């Protein structure tokens, strides 16, 4: 088995202790859940992480795959220059993802070339600070980006990604970087819309139930009202999971936490992956954060 698990991670820099400082208490549920993911990642010991960031270079009509030879980033913009991530690239897996996508006629572009040192955006940095923070050995990285293509095309891209991962000789962890609504409360970053809480509830409930069809069927008008930056990331994840299940792997969704104290919805979750011979269990809600806007 080469796909060893899938994580859903928000990406607000404030959840990083060196950035959040005293405000970290406001996102305690998220921080505790991210530390749980950190421990889980250490136990899984991935050799490669494939991460889709909503803030990676965006092509309007093409999905993005990085062939970068190495990755480097810091949180200097958020007054924490000493928080640094460095990782080599998994160029072979990047190539395999592009080839699989091309085989499915999914419009895809290269967002970083062989030999490039890729600068990580905060949508990548924040999840990786936690997920790579306790790994027992160095880990390679592949960065992906979404587009303005349809939700269905994002799912198909995810299927291509999943198939490429399943063909990799390395242990691969998939990470969907995803903030939900940005309009939960008056004064939120993208303004306030009362429908945004409904959007987040639908996403969290559907993910927790393993109801991918329900998650992908959220009305476009509701998605637009939420001002989100993670729904397409979740759609790609749905395709990755579909590829795993098509290969006979068992999956189990877990919601670790959800909260939105600053007007942006933060969902932390995982999709556990097991071999076909393992007993299949139902979805699990590991708890919803106190004060969640649901």
CB 175 within 8 A of CB 51: yes
Q: Which pLDDT score is estimated for 1?
A: 61
Instruction: State how far Cα 139 lies from the chain centre.
Output: 17
Distance of CA 105 to the CA centre of its chain: 24
pTM of the complete model: 0.94
Domain 3-285 fold = Protocatechuate 4,5-dioxygenase; Chain B (3.40.830)
Averaged pLDDT for residues 117-124: 97
pLDDT tens across 236-256, in order? 999 999 999 999 999 999 999
Residue 290 confidence (pLDDT) above 50: no
Q: Are 38 and 133 in contact (CB under 8 A)?
A: yes
Give the count of alpha carbons within 13 A of 87, CB side only: 30
Q: State yes or no: pLDDT of 291 exceeds 70.
A: no
Largest interatomic CA distance in the chain: 50
Confidence of residue 31 (pLDDT cuts 50, 70, 90): very high
Residue pointed to by tokens 């390395």: 170
pLDDT digit string (tens) for 94-107?
999 999 999 999 99
pLDDT, averaged across the chain: 94
The single-letter DSSP state of residue 151 is: H
Strands (E), the chain: 3-9, 48-52, 63-66, 70-75, 80-88, 108-112, 117-119, 140-145, 172-177, 250-259, 266-274, 284-285
pLDDT at residue 280, rounded to an integer: 47
Q: How far apart are CA 184 and CA 180, in angstroms?
A: 10
Residue whose C-alpha is closest to residue 240's, from 33, 2, 36, 17: 2
What is the predicted pLDDT for the residue at 276?
A: 78
| 139 Cβ contact partners less than 8 Å away, ≥ 6 residues apart | 46, 47, 48, 49, 87, 132
Grade residue 208 by pLDDT with cuts at 50, 70 and 90: very high
Mean pLDDT of 185-212: 97
Map out the domains of the chain as residue ranges: 3-285
pLDDT band of residue 294 (cuts 50, 70, 90) is very low
């Amino acid at each position: 088995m080469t796909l060893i698990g899938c994580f859903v991670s928000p990406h607000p820099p404030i959840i990083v202790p060196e950035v959040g400082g005293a405000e970290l208490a406001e996102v305690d549920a998220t921080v505790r859940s991210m530390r749980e993911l950190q421990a889980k990642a250490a136990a899984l010991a991935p050799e490669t992480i494939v991460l889709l960031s909503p803030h990676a270079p965006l092509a309007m009509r093409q999905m993005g795959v990085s062939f970068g030879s190495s990755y480097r980033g810091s949180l200097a913009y958020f007054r924490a220059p000493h928080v640094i991530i460095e990782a080599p690239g998994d160029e072979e897996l990047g190539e395999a993802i592009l080839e699989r996508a091309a085989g499915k006629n999914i419009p895809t572009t290269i967002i970083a070339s062989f030999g490039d040192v890729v600068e990580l955006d905060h949508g990548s940095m924040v999840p990786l600070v936690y997920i790579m923070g306790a790994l027992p050995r160095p880990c390679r990285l592949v960065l992906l980006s979404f587009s303005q293509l349809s939700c269905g095309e994002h799912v198909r891209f995810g299927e291509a990604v999943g198939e490429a991962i399943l063909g990799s000789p390395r242990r691969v962890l998939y990470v969907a970087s995803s903030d939900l609504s940005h309009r939960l409360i008056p004064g939120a970053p993208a303004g306030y819309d009362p429908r945004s809480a409904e959007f987040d509830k639908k996403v969290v409930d559907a993910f927790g139930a393993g109801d991918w069809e329900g998650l992908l069927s959220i009305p476009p008008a509701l998605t637009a009202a939420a001002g989100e930056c993670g729904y397409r990331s979740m759609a790609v994840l749905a395709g990755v999971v579909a590829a795993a299940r098509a290969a006979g792997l068992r999956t189990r969704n877990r919601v670790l936490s959800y909260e939105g104290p600053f007007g942006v919805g933060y969902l932390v979750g995982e999709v556990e992956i097991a071999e076909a011979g393992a007993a299949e269990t139902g979805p699990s809600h590991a708890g919803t954060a106190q004060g969640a806007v649901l």
